[in-house]
Amino acid sequence: MSSATFPVEGAGLGLRRALLGPLREADLSAVGFMEAAPENWIGVGGRLGEQFRAWTERFPFICHGLSLSIGAPEPLDREFLARLKQFLDEHGIAGYSDHLSYCSEHGHLYDLMPIPFTAEAVDWVASRISQVQDTLGRRIAVENISYYATVGAEMSELEFINAVIEKADCLLLLDVNNIHVNSINHRYDADEFLAGLPADRVAYIHIAGHHNEAEDLIVDTHGAPVIDPVWRLLGKAYEKLGPVPTLLERDFNFPPVEELLAEVDQIRQHQSVHEPSEQQRRAS
């Protein structure tokens, strides 16, 4: 079982502004924690800031970043990191993650671009992760991304992820849907990929829906329900890791909130199958 989880448990839901109203009167008994993009809330005051504060006081939170751009060639945004640390400290949020990608090149690209799978990139990215961890005073998690082209690869995606995590001494945000998406788009075995990841570095899991553009092309959208092959892969992850904290991502095309929370409860049901027995808990 993973020993690296963030201080949350159970099944989580990403808090989006479009959900603030629908969630207000909903039964949230299935929700164990929430996640927010800090870029959407840093510096927000007034009524929205008060609403966000109310949610962080009600639920344990993780922050999942959008703009760290850890693989970019330009220097880290120190001003952003300072504001991020203040925000995390103010809301008592211990867990922070971002994508193993880059999204800037002397300007924001508004997309998550794949980092070349090279030894040079491993050294560059690991050094930057270490700087971020030192600045934030937290061990962060990086997410395996979905990508649609491979640029200048000297190693496999799996080798690259493992090398970065080891060299940076950071954690992994395991996105199960991204493994499924990439396994179709890049024609590899999802189960073998999952088995090759470092179990002791998994902080938590993402699960989401996607769009089938063609038989051999899936686009990671977070705008649809989770499909059966991804639920199956989540079960495989729990077999390897135990029922680590898992978050449902939904960014748009929101269904009625009852349907959304039913998916969160489905995560809980999958987790319950893999809960350790009383004997195993005592032994640990």
pLDDT of residue 1: 42
CA–CA distance, 98 with 143 (Å, rounded to integer): 6
Alpha carbon distance 129, 68 (integer Å): 10
At the topology level of CATH, where does 11-283 sit? Answer: TIM Barrel (3.20.20)
Could you tell me the sign of the dihedral formed by the alpha carbons of 160, 162, 167, 173, in that order?
A: positive
pLDDT in tens, 131-185: 999 999 999 999 999 887 777 789 999 999 999 999 999 999 999 999 999 998 8
Instruction: Map tokens 């199958």 to a residue.
Output: 273
Low-confidence residues of the chain: pLDDT under 70: 1-3, 104-112, 211, 213-214, 277-284
Residues ≥6 apart with Cβ < 8 Å to 155: 117, 118, 119, 163
Cα 260 to Cα 271: distance, rounded to the nearest angstrom = 17
Domain ranges of the chain: 11-283
Q: What is the pLDDT of residues 26-41, one digit of tens each?
A: 999 999 999 999 999 9
pLDDT at 134 (0 to 100): 97
- The pLDDT value recorded for residue 202 is 98
Q: What is the pLDDT of residue 60?
A: 97
